[in-house]
Structure 1
Amino acid sequence: MLWLEYISHPWDLTPASTTTAELDGAMERLKRELPRHGWKVVEYGRDTSMNKNLSLTADNDEKKVSVKLGAHAKDTPPSLGLMVVSGCYQVPDSQQVQHF
């Protein structure tokens, strides 16, 4: 997706306890399940960082939103980074904002 203007929403989720295998398993499940809910996985694999974090990028064209996730399994504590990017739009006078 390409937007001239956009809003990004970053989060970092830190589980109470987790392992590299558990984070990688969560990423595999997301890769498998997101397309069943209208998402298209456009990138999946290890990033170029020293830790070779597993990352996933997916777009939802219907909702005009993208998400980038990164499993930071080797960080202390391990975490799952999440960035949601959505376009900026003006709602036409005859319509209402959809809340998710």
Structure 2
Amino acid sequence: MSSVKNILFHALSAWGHNKPMAALAVIITRARPDIVITVITTAIIYPKFHNELKSKLSAEEYHSLSPRIKYANSSCCSCLVNSTRQYH
């Protein structure tokens, strides 16, 4: 059994920098079932990122891949702490 690997994404707080990360997160999670993507973003980008993921995936694919694409609002420290998990 292979271990789960986590990739952390972060970009400038501009939609033009974050939108491609949503596409890359989808490509990576489709190709590699052992990868979890964590995206740290801002309150302004957070809902846009969520909508971008939903637009790139069918409902079924969103349901299967979204647990492996985590995104957190960096302006809320407790969100980052609560979304952190240990994978073994």
Q: TM-score under structure 1 normalisation?
A: 0.31
The structure where helix makes up a greater share of residues is 2
Q: Name the TM-score, length of structure 2 as normaliser.
A: 0.34
Higher strand share: 1
Find the structure with the greater CA-based Rg. 1
